[in-house]
Structure 1
């Protein structure tokens, strides 16, 4: 089971993510980011690459895809909030997108 990020850890772990466009979700202990691509193929290809890492780490995002846009929400359901896994997957997604 994952452990929820402490208030102190959040400051150091989340700040770099906020700098790349991630934001807190209103009313939830979760982060969200919208990734914009040139077209559907680019968006779907990125989702496929991200899905491989999500499956490998057994940590799956909430996401939706509309044409060239992918909206990702990350939270850890077994600790009912943000965990180190969310930060790790967010950094990987940014890296796959080229914004790390």
Structure 2
């Protein structure tokens, strides 16, 4: 899988307002009501990641979840990253 051009990434990001592109990856930060809700979302995201065989770099501090997506084998952002971002958005949206 080839990395997407910066122009393509920027166009696709118009449909992902919670995400930004920098440091050769897609980044988002989500805030939940509490740690339990954040961890619940992380668990659901983990199952989706396994299903897609694509895994984020992420960090959790209390009710905040920070996620970075890139395709390491392609050394950049690919369609796989946008597919996972879309799934993450659906999971987080349900939590709200």
TM-score by length of 2: 0.89
Q: Which of 72, 80, 87 is residue 85 of structure 1 equivalent to?
A: 80
Q: 2:20 aligns with which of 18, 23, 26?
A: 23
Runs of 4+ in 1 over 3 A off after TM superposition: 6-9
Q: Give me the whole-angstrom Cα distance separating, in 2, the residues matched to 1:56 and 1:65.
A: 21
For residue 34 of structure 1, give the secondary structure of its aligned residue in structure 2.
strand
Contact 2:27–2:67 under 8 Å retained in 1: yes
Matching residue of 1:48: 43
Structure 2 unaligned regions, length at least 5: none
SS of 2:28's equivalent in the other structure is: strand
Separation in 2, partners of 1:55, 1:66: 22
Structure 1, unpaired ranges of 5+: none
TM-score normalized by structure 1? 0.85
Q: Choose which of 36, 53, 59 in structure 2 pairs with 1:64.
A: 59
The alignment covers a number of residue pairs equal to: 94
CA RMSD in angstroms, aligned pairs only: 1.5
